[in-house]
Amino acid sequence: MSAEKVMNRWIVVIGGILIQLCLGAIYAWSAFTVKLANPPFEFTGTQTQWVFSLGLASFAFFMALIAGRWQAKSGPRVVAFTGGIVMGLGYIIGWLSGTNFWGILIGVGLIGGAGIGLAYVCPIAALVKWFPDKKGLITGLAVAGFGFGALIWVKLTQGFVFGPVKLTGDWPGLYGMGWTVNQVWLLYGILFAVLVALGSIVIVNPPQGWQPKGWTPPAAGAVSDTGVVNFKPGQMVARPQFWGLFLTFVFGAIAGLMVIGVIKLFGTGKLGEAGLEPQRIDEITGTAMGLFLALFNGLGRIIWGTISDFTGRKAAIILMCLAQGIMMLVFFWVGGSEWGLYIGAAIIGFNFGGNFALFPAATADFFGNKKVGENYPFVFLAYGVGGIVGPLLGGAMRDLGTESGNIGTWMWAFIPAGIACLLGAVIMIAMRPPKPLPEHHDA
């Protein structure tokens, strides 16, 4: 079947990025944590992270248990559309909940996360089929919007100000205009539902048998790419390579999601200890979170994905884990100054973003392109585990430091996460491609 008889595959990329820009709002959570920790909410640091963690866990589990198989059966369009509606509804419930912790936990956390989980895998599953010749690059592009989206949703609350650069002039952001957290959630809920619905229109699979013009599939049995062997989820989970990928992803998720969830709380404490004024601290932490962490999160998805097309997924994951582990080990000390916080946030965001290009592509490499929409959600459950452990550990160390008056407790959140990332590199060094068995036929 010739490529001219089907839609331009780059249109699917555009729709996927639009969807991911909205789904990435979960990474803007630090824009709300300081507000939630103060009147009229007065949540503890751990409570703020419970909402974030439940959202992340709901995201991962709905993706694994429902979205993967549903999109394989009904196509990615309807599943992505439903995810946008559910996500929007969750934020609207957060608006209706006022200051009630349980209402916000269920609305923004459980229901909002479920919507993200339904929609997230759809662009990835479709685009891996449209771009078997550029898996690393295209999975990076497909999920780059997720990282860049956080930049948009954070900066809408406080204005697009980056140091001396004011992209929106003197516009102070939604908070500066007097908007409450709940009112922001109402606006976001409406925007998410509408924009994801628009993006879902073009999220479709290529026709059966289609392949890019001029591309030749790898020969059967090729050691460098096991994509010709399409493992089913049950077969995949029985292989040690699955568990190696899973644990490595858990460790990377713990590190990145911890910092995303607490960077504003951590930066506020460290810079306050250094004697900076509250307004200046708010500007610095907002820039670290919205520009450096979110922007480099998005860039990391594209760049690590592209690198892996040249080095192979295994080598790229090893390098990414090593860099992340080292940065997490020193982040407590590096993050005590303005530029240290910026640099640390950029490196952590860059490496964290790489997970979302490398692990779906590695799943396709090890277990086949055809079933990646069903298989990757099970690998992605690792993200849910990391989303519970990382932010809650960070929130607990913050509360312990508040109670004891010792900000040094933050160190015992970051150092274990750094050690875990280094362990992930060791696991990947030992990883070998799965051996095809006679029962593992294309299905």
Domains of the chain: 7-206+231-429 (1.20.1250.20)
pLDDT at 282: 79
pLDDT digits (tens, 9 = 90+) for 299-350: 888 899 889 988 989 999 999 999 999 999 999 999 988 999 999 999 999 9
Question: How far apart, in Å, are the Cα atoms of 340 and each of 138, 252, 271, 304?
Answer: 32, 21, 11, 23
Q: What's phi and psi for 162, nearest 5 deg?
A: -125, 90
Q: How far apart are CA 355 and CA 140, in angstroms?
A: 9
pLDDT at 76: 94
Q: How far apart are CA 120 and CA 132, in angstroms?
A: 19
Confidence (pTM): 0.78
Nearest-CA neighbor of 331 among 299, 297, 288?
Answer: 288
If you average pLDDT over each of 85-99, 156-170, 213-227, 283-297, which comes out highest? 85-99
pLDDT at 55: 94
Q: Which residue has the higher pLDDT, 38 or 221?
A: 38
pLDDT at 440: 44
Q: How far apart are CA 155 and CA 162, in angstroms?
A: 10
Across all residues in the chain, what is the average pLDDT? 87
pLDDT at 74 over 90: yes
Question: How far apart, in Å, are the Cα atoms of 13 and each of 9, 307, 332?
Answer: 7, 19, 38
Least confident of 113-117, 273-277, 301-305, 407-411: 273-277
Band of the pLDDT at 224, cuts 50, 70, 90? very low
Query: What do you get for the CA distance between the two ends of the chain, in Å?
Result: 20
Nearest-CA neighbor of 303 among 320, 290, 289?
Answer: 320
Which residues touch 268 (CB under 8 Å, ≥6 apart)? 34, 281, 282, 285
**The two structure tokens encoding residue 307:** 């690198």
Q: How far apart are CA 407 and CA 423, in angstroms?
A: 27
**Residue whose structure tokens are 């190696």:** 244
pLDDT at 214: 77
Kindly report the length of the chain: 443
Band of the pLDDT at 225, cuts 50, 70, 90? very low
Q: What's phi and psi for 166, nearest 5 deg?
A: -120, 95
SS3 161: strand
**The two structure tokens encoding residue 56:** 């992340």
CB 90 within 8 A of CB 112: yes
Q: If you ran DSSP here, which 8-state letter would residue 166 be given? A: E
Element (H, E) at 102: helix 101-104
pLDDT at 163: 63
CB 193 within 8 A of CB 85: yes
Angle between helices 313-334 and 294-311 (to 10 degrees): 150
Q: Is the dihedral of CA 34, 39, 45, 49 positive or negative?
A: negative
Q: How far apart are CA 2 and CA 17, in angstroms?
A: 25
The amino acid occupying position 137 is L
Q: Counting runs of H as helices and runs of E as strands, what totals does the chain give?
A: 18, 2
Strand-pairing partners, residue 166, are 161
Angle between helices 135-158 and 278-287 (to 10 degrees): 160
pLDDT at 164 over 70: no
Q: How far apart are CA 107 and CA 55, in angstroms?
A: 9
Band of the pLDDT at 226, cuts 50, 70, 90? very low
